[in-house]
Amino acid sequence: MYDEIIDKNNKESALKLTKGTEQRNDVNLNYLSRVKKVKALSVNDYIEGILQGNRTVLARAITLVESNLHRHQTMAQEVIEKCLPHSGNSIRLGITGVPGVGKSSFIEVLGKMLTSQGHKVAVLAIDPSSERSGGSILGDKTRMELLSCDENAFIRPSPSAGSLGGVARKTREIIVLCEAAGYDVVLIETVGVGQSEVLAHSMVDFFLLLQLANAGDELQGIKRGIMEMADVIAINKSEGKEKERSEIAALNYRNALHLFPPAESGWIPKVLTCSAYTKEGIKEIWEMVLDYVRLTKKNGFFFKNRNTQNLRILTETISQTLTERFYNSEVIKEKLPIAKDDILDNRVSAYIIAQNLIEDYFKANLT
């Protein structure tokens, strides 16, 4: 129609109509007007909102923590510091297992059970793949549909922070925010394929390993070290025909666990079977978590472990920062390549060179 009018105008009138730009129909104007209205929050707004359990403010505070902008980080640190006195009152539960073992299905069932009992459940993830591949093992499918609609549950995918250390730091800070917002169960989900569960283990009270009956340990990619960290091993998908095989697998795991040295917590790791489909075993696993918490609060390990975790953060942060500064300093950047050549030519011992480089660094940076 426009074309007709324009054509007509061009021929019959001095008044010229030009063709306008069509309104894009993929931009929702209502949305745009709302976005403009979102007001910037002050540190106090964040804290007030979080302490009131406001999920929108909590989500925005997490985005602040995840941001790498300097001014966001300064603000985030202030929010975290003010939330710290209100944190710590949760059970932090790590859940690991290879992709496909049923972690999200399990968390959905456990989470719904807990919210129905009056708990507030936060689900966080540590997913190293989100940075490396641009995609994420834990986040690229529709997960936990029921739990994500539950107003007493809060689900947040893994932060991507450049390095696993960065992800760990941000996850720890997010735990503080969630606890201050009243979440009394924090589930940290991680993929059972490597370093990420060591990190998850360093920030939780209890560690659950999900396994399958129909594959050997090698197939499941689970290393001995990860089994050793587990407080409970649960053989998932144990229903129907699988039940018998699961029981046999559970027996094998029980025998294997006997070979490990006793844990400092005083807890003897348990093995049981469960099914996220039939919900069998889920209640029992939670009861075990509660038994564990009771035992370790009584024998003092619970808080000792949290203190150890905090002190480890201190020493790790110091060594990471010093290492970064060392390698980024001008003097080391200049001398390290020469030092490496000297070592490769077998001219000087690596120990002596290391010592000399450290001295050079301090001389250059402390005067």
Q: Write out the residues near ligand GDP by the rule CB under 6 A.
A: 97, 99-105, 236-237, 239, 275-277
State in angstroms the smallest separation of the CB of 242 from ligand GDP. 7
The smaller minimum CB distance to ligand GDP, of residues 65 and 122, is found at: 122
Helix, coil or strand: residue 333:
helix
State in angstroms the smallest separation of the CB of 230 from ligand GDP. 15
The smaller minimum CB distance to ligand GDP, of residues 106 and 361, is found at: 106
Under 8 Å between Cβ of 261 and 238 = no
The smaller minimum CB distance to ligand GDP, of residues 277 and 326, is found at: 277
Residue with tokens 């169960």: 185
Neighbours of 315 (CB within 10 A): 9
Under 8 Å between Cβ of 186 and 91 = yes
State in angstroms the smallest separation of the CB of 101 from ligand GDP. 4
The smaller minimum CB distance to ligand GDP, of residues 140 and 291, is found at: 140
- CA dihedral 159→160→165→169, nearest 10 degrees, is -30
The smaller minimum CB distance to ligand GDP, of residues 156 and 169, is found at: 156
Sign of the dihedral through C-alpha 239, 242, 247, 251: negative
Q: Which residue is nearest to ligand GDP (CB)?
A: 102
| C-alpha radius of gyration, the chain, whole number | 27
Q: What is the rounded distance in angstroms from the CA atom of residue 113 to the CA atom of residue 283?
A: 8
Q: What's the gap between Cα 152 and its chain centre?
A: 19
State in angstroms the smallest separation of the CB of 146 from ligand GDP. 13
233 — phi, psi (to 5°)? -110, 125
The smaller minimum CB distance to ligand GDP, of residues 236 and 296, is found at: 236
CA–CA distance from 332 to each of 112, 172, 323, 347 (Å)? 54, 32, 11, 19
State in angstroms the smallest separation of the CB of 28 from ligand GDP. 31
State in angstroms the smallest separation of the CB of 136 from ligand GDP. 11
